[in-house]
Amino acid sequence: MAAIDIKNLNHNQLNDLISKAQSRQHEMKKEKVVKLREKIHALIKAEGYSFDDIFGGTRGKRRSGGVVPPKYRNPANAEQTWSGRGKRPRWFNDALKAGKKEKDLLV
């Protein structure tokens, strides 16, 4: 590897060198990750397992939490409920403005 005398580089040449070095560093890191991933898969396969057996089959999938039970009920209309998650429904805000307290609206 040839040594580079950075004292003789102008501003643009130095920025170009830094950019190239950072790019190469990023490439090397990606290469190392690929090699490590291959080693891990080979080891898992050699032991007779699959990746999902070891780490579970939910990689990258969102959990569906299902339906959340209601926490609040509209006293004026029992069909309107709210779980307490997300944006407050209009009926909830209207009830608070009318003088109700959150605990008064609990299911």
Chunked into runs of 10 residues, the chain (107 residues) has average pLDDT values of 85 94 97 96 93 76 76 90 92 91 88
Task: Collect all residues with Cβ–Cβ distance below 8 Å to 100 and sequence separation of at least 6.
Answer: 75
* Both structure tokens of 54: 């070891």
User: Could you identify the residue written with the tokens 């190392």?
Assistant: 32
The Cα 22–Cα 31 span in angstroms is 14
User: pTM above the 0.85 mark?
Assistant: no
Specify whether the backbone of 70 is left (phi greater than 0), alpha (psi in -120 to 50) or beta.
beta
**pLDDT on residue 63:** 65
